[in-house]
Structure 1
């Protein structure tokens, strides 16, 4: 009788590991997004005149709360999580702007700091509430 099993390929042989190119690019793209967002926040906080300041800061203002909300909603399907994350990011930005305008304390630096603080708070609360060792339950409806 023959035993059928899956053997891992030997190390450094150049053999295909079964992972697609998409899986290899995800960490690279995530790192690039963090770098672009960080540069955008830094350019806004330093008040440096650069043609990249506007687009990079806008990317930070959408990506930081969107990533935090997306991390909180791991149980949703990918498309549902994307829609809710983008909508939530826009809502966070609008609420920060409205609150700062109502209090007469509007500034670009203050807005970036407030959005970063709220995004960090959402992400921190998500990490604190997530039970260890138990994967998130999937909602398919």
Structure 2
């Protein structure tokens, strides 16, 4: 009988599975809403999409912070974005559920672009770069 003494490796193996399930649930929620398909899963999956998509986009842009801070700021930013989209659409008299989901999805796709462009502009460091001596120490 084998025992798993390294619980950390089991968690590391389950993380991609959980992330894939979350992406799948969010995508199904967005698809059910955009296709206007009546299903009992439509409301909870769409709500999950409206929180998870912007939270993941913001979290990916905040790479310098620790995991807990990225989660808190991502969820808070996602809720702020959802409210901003809803308020803007209501003020312009163009509110619709499908339009709101599409707007949040589009903004979630565009949020990590500045961070990716900034990362691409940074000069890459070579791993075998020679170390400079610090002087006569």
TM range (shorter): 0.7 to 0.9
By how many angstroms is 1:124 displaced? 2.2
Deviations 1:1-56 (A, max 9, x none): xxxxxxxxxxxxxxx9x761000011111111110000000000011110000000
| 2:52 is the alignment partner of 1:69 | no
The corresponding residue for 1:99 is 88
Flag structure 2 segments of 5+ consecutive residues without an equivalent.
Answer: 126-137
Structure 1 residues 106-133: Cα deviation after superposition (integer angstroms, max 9, x where no partner)? 0001000100111111022222222465
- Count of matched residue positions in the alignment of Structure 1 and Structure 2: 118
Separation in structure 2 between the aligned mates of residue 34 and residue 86 of structure 1, nearest angstrom: 16
Structure 1 residues 45-56: aligned runs within 5 Å: 45-56=34-45
- Quote the Cα distance in structure 2 between the aligned partners of 1:93 and 1:128: 25
Alignment of 1:25 with 2:14, yes or no, is: yes
Query: How far apart, in 1, do the equivalents of 2:87 and 2:96 lie?
Result: 12
Choose between structure 1 and 2: higher helix proportion. Answer: 2
Instruction: Find runs of 4+ consecutive structure 1 residues off by over 4 angstroms.
Output: 131-134
Of 113, 120, 125, the residue aligned with 2:109 is 120
**TM-score w.r.t. length of structure 1:** 0.79
SS of 2:112's equivalent? helix
TM-score normalised per structure 2: 0.81
RMSD value, Cα: 1.6
Gaps in structure 1 of 5+ consecutive residues: 1-15, 135-141
Distance 1:128 1:37 in 2: 26
